[in-house]
Amino acid sequence: MTVSFSTFERLKTKGVASYKNGDFLAAKTYLVDAAECLIELAEAAKSPEARRQHEELAAELIDLAKDSDAQHKSGGKGRRPVTARQGEKEGDSGADASDWIVKEKPDIGFDDIAGLEDVKEEIRLKMIYPFMHPELAQRYGIGTGGGVLLYGPPGTGKTMIARAIAHEIDATFFVVSPAQMLSKWVGEAEQNVRKLFEAAKAEPTAVIFLDEIEALVPKRKSDSSSVMQRVVPQILQELEGFDRKAGRALLFIGATNRPWMLDEAMLRPGRLDAKIYVDLPDAPARYRLLEIYFDGRPLAVDVDYGALCDRLVGYSGADIKNIAAQAAQKPFMEAVAGGEPRMIEMKDVLAVIEETAPSVNPADLVRFETFDGQGKPASQSK
Ligand SMILES: Nc1ncnc2c1ncn2[C@@H]1O[C@H](COP(=O)(O)OP(=O)(O)OP(=O)(O)O)[C@@H](O)[C@H]1O
Ligand SMILES: [Mg+2]
């Protein structure tokens, strides 16, 4: 089996982000997976030098994973960021919500996201303007808050957009990992859902973000576990009970790269009724991604973003970020080995592209484009 560098990159990014957020259990899992990926990549590496580099980095990741495990077991004392403890009383039975809810104030905005102009505009209209102009929204009967589903292939910026929305409306961002939440859910499911919504409602403005939401609210089957059968209706009820009055609002964002696995009841009006398709980057977005991710790196004059854009049709934002990082590695390694430091040249970038397949395959893309969630079709991808 071959793993791609972008898979590793994404696992590592998620692991490090979880670690920074104090989500140590998730961090450990991601970091171990990232290290395993890297070990596989090391085995496949062409040069001994690259192999050694990969192995060293894998060892570092394992150390960080061990630290995450220790932090998790000790309750993360010392390094932990603000976590949600609202609504919890002494003796309140059940899990400590701070184990699985992370609260943050994201600092990335829409300007940091390449392309996706339609998506940004739709979000501005449905979510940002009503928050920013509450009196006007009230006057015209425009609701604030509600549910949004971001769906699309992996690495297209869904998680990034969710963070940016919270930033744009200066909301507290609650990140919930379904995997973690579920593991805590044996017998405590309803209570956990209630705690999550209570913690969010205690903030003037809050965004609850559920990544990989299909893991939490999959299609209800008659034979599915009883936990799911109780929890799904409860989430739906909490969603409907949102305080939609202007001024105090709660936004619920779910993201998935497998929308067809979601329970249809989640997609009805009043629930995750705004469904937004986050597509692969179009040509201007690919251009912008190159600008963002080559920014600050020494580039030779022959590097032609226009030509690279044409070559990068089908690649995701995460792929392009990763290609930029890898293209810098060769000249860097040469300089480390004692060579004269040189610029990153067009051939370095092309060589990386040659070796890297897009992480999203065309067959999967068709599934998104034909997904009947009344989301917009892939008008932007060309
Ligand atoms: N449109 C974009 N603009 C800038 N950076 C992007 C964009 N799309 C992806 N990226 C980069 O790729 C990384 C992965 O993106 P992100 O985690 O938001 O993808 P995702 O759609 O949530 O993927 P998944 O479905 O796997 O969760 C981001 O950290 C970001 O650096
Ligand atoms: Mg994501």
The whole-model pTM stands at 0.70
Q: Are 208 and 200 in contact (CB under 8 A)?
A: yes
Say what the pLDDT of residue 145 is: 65
What's the pLDDT band for 287 if we cut at 50, 70, 90?
Answer: very high
* Segment among 151-165, 216-230, 253-267 with least mean pLDDT: 216-230
Can you list the domains of the chain with their CATH numbers?
Answer: 1-81 (1.20.58), 97-279 (3.40.50.300), 280-373 (1.10.8.60)
Residue having the nearest C-alpha atom to atom 18 of ligand 1: 157
Checking if the pLDDT of 241 tops 70, the result is: no
| Mutation to probe ligand 1, out of 159, 211, 287 (largest number of atoms < 8 A from CB) | 159
Residue having the nearest C-alpha atom to atom 11 of ligand 1: 318
Closest ligand to C-alpha of residue 321 is 1
Say what the pLDDT of residue 152 is: 93
Hey, what are 311's tokens? 């070559």
| Mutation to probe ligand 1, out of 149, 290, 321, 360 (largest number of atoms < 8 A from CB) | 321
Say what the pLDDT of residue 270 is: 65
Say what the pLDDT of residue 141 is: 83
| Cα 374 from Cα 6, distance rounded (Å) | 30
| Cα 122 from Cα 302, distance rounded (Å) | 38
Residue having the nearest C-alpha atom to atom 1 of ligand 1: 114
**Ligand 1 atom closest to Cα of residue 161:** 18
172 phi, psi to nearest 5 deg: -80, 135
Q: Are 113 and 94 in contact (CB under 8 A)?
A: no
Q: What is the mean pLDDT of the chain?
A: 80
Average pLDDT over residues 76-93: 39
| Cα 192 from Cα 194, distance rounded (Å) | 5
What's the pLDDT band for 99 if we cut at 50, 70, 90?
Answer: low
pLDDT tens, residue by residue, 357-374: 999 988 888 888 888 664
**Ligand 1 atom closest to Cα of residue 153:** 25
What's the pLDDT band for 78 if we cut at 50, 70, 90?
Answer: very low
